[in-house]
Chains A and B, each alone.
Chain A
Amino acid sequence: MAIRLSRTFILRKLHQLTGIMPLGIFLLEHFYTNSKALSGPGDFNNAVKDLQSIPYILLVEIGGIFIPLIYHAVYGLVITVEARPNNLHYPYARNWFYTIQRVTGIILFFFITFHVLNFRFGMIPGLNTLSVAHHPEQSFEIVSREFHNVWIFIVYVIGITATVWHLANGIWLFLVDWGITIGERAQRLTGYACIAIGLLLLAVGINAAIAFIKPGGLIPGLM
């Protein structure tokens, strides 16, 4: 018999999928570009310039990032509204992960909104009014100047941590939601793998951020 797909089913599957692709993939690219800062402002600025020279960049940005991002964020909030967390009575790891996934989602909603307005569009008066995309040659300086403000830097550390958590746990969720990981042992092993991915991404993400205030990152000359 032909199976009819319900609205919710399609929306949820899209939500699960957009989290990994394109958003997860984009995050990897983003961290890669950020990490160019480790070898100096010139490399980073060039990387930003390269990105801007991608053909059809506007379409890629809108179709590949903004639309999926807005969909994932808004529908994520819809899902979050349905949650009835009960961690105090059922204090299991996965139940905490469940709640944290939603909390990080809310954090990300605000953090990414701020981050995009801040750097991509340069629309936060009093903080930054230069769009990195339109001034790639100044991009390192724009970021670096802001990161020297401790509060902004803390906001970014929190934002990066939340993002990494949300993605690492999101990968695990994708694996089970799409029926790739099934059994208990597989759940456990993929869980460890996701923790490893998360720790690695966290190190890369934070180190790149540090590179904007301390040349070469946390341990200069490591690479």
Chain B
Amino acid sequence: MNTVEIHIKRREKPGAPQHWEIFEIPYRPNLNVISCLLEIRKNPVTKSGQKTTPPSWDMNCLEQVCGICTMVINGRVRQSCSALVDNLDQPIKLEPMTKFPNIRDLVVDRSQMFDHLKRVHAWVELDGTYDLGPGPRMDQEDVMERYAYSRCMTCGCCLEACPQYDEDHYIGPQAIAQVRLFNMHPSGAMDRDERLQGIMGDDGITNCGNAQNCVKACPMNIPLTKAIYEENRETVLYGLLGWLKK
């Protein structure tokens, strides 16, 4: 094979209709989707020779740790930097994520995910950043579990793949996993109820439908369903049954 055929779902601006454009670039070994896009933007001409505008997309680290270059590739959501052409069926079909506002071409606006983090109080409430010595001692096993949750890069794969997430009416696995992350921390646990409140609203944790696509789609292999079920337990114990202690 000496060329790579790439179909890109284009949109000029928010509200404009989407349409497909077909591009073709010379094959080289070790190409990833980003390299293809970089090649296309140098000289944006469609396969049929039509001059067009270069596609826009988001990219940054290219090592699958920043999460920005997420898009739907051949029907599945993933990072485009780690999508190697040699492992993909051709033609390669690139679409923007469908669960977020589409800004242009492959660019989406995921700021709602960061808003979710605000709502779930995703931080340890420090007394201050001045020197107070070391933090609490912790078991390495707990640390490793927290580390797994802490690797979430807010890429949105879990939300894109979730059949329950649409129009932002579900807070989603990523925010719930962050609740777990901080509720597991000895100092973080002191604000447990604030976080539970954040995931018990009308768009809260009960909107999970247990399709478990999130955990399959997560590029960081975060045990998202475990986090959700841990928080199910906490919401039952402290939320639903909390009044029994009063």
Q: Which residues of A contact B (CB under 8 A)?
A: 1-9, 12-13, 16, 79, 82-86, 88-90, 92, 94-95, 97-99, 173, 176-184, 187
Contacts and interface: CB of A to CB of B under 8 A. Distances in A.
A178 B76 contact: no
A95 B196 contact: no
B14 interface: no
B217 A179 contact: no
Contact of B232 (A7, A90, A176): A176
A181 B237 CA distance: 14
A3 B193 contact: yes
A79 B211 CA distance: 13
A9 B203 CA distance: 9
User: Which 8 A-B pairs rank lowest in CB-CB distance, beginning with the nearest?
Assistant: A179-B233, A12-B206, A98-B211, A179-B232, A94-B212, A8-B202, A89-B75, A182-B229
B28 interface: no
Contact of B213 (A6, A88, A90, A176): A90
A12 B207 contact: yes
B210 A94 contact: yes
A7 B197 contact: no
Nearest to A88: B75
A3 B196 contact: yes
Contacts of B231: 179
Contact of B223 (A94, A99, A177, A184): A184
B210 A5 contact: no
Given A83-B163, A90-B217, A183-B226, A176 B210 contact: yes
A177 B228 CA distance: 9
Contacts of A178: 232-233, 236
A7 to B, nearest CB: 6
A8 B210 contact: no
A95 B233 contact: no
A75 to B, nearest CB: 11
Contacts of A2: 193, 242, 246
B193 A6 contact: no
B166 A82 contact: yes
A154 to B, nearest CB: 30
B202 to A, nearest CB: 4
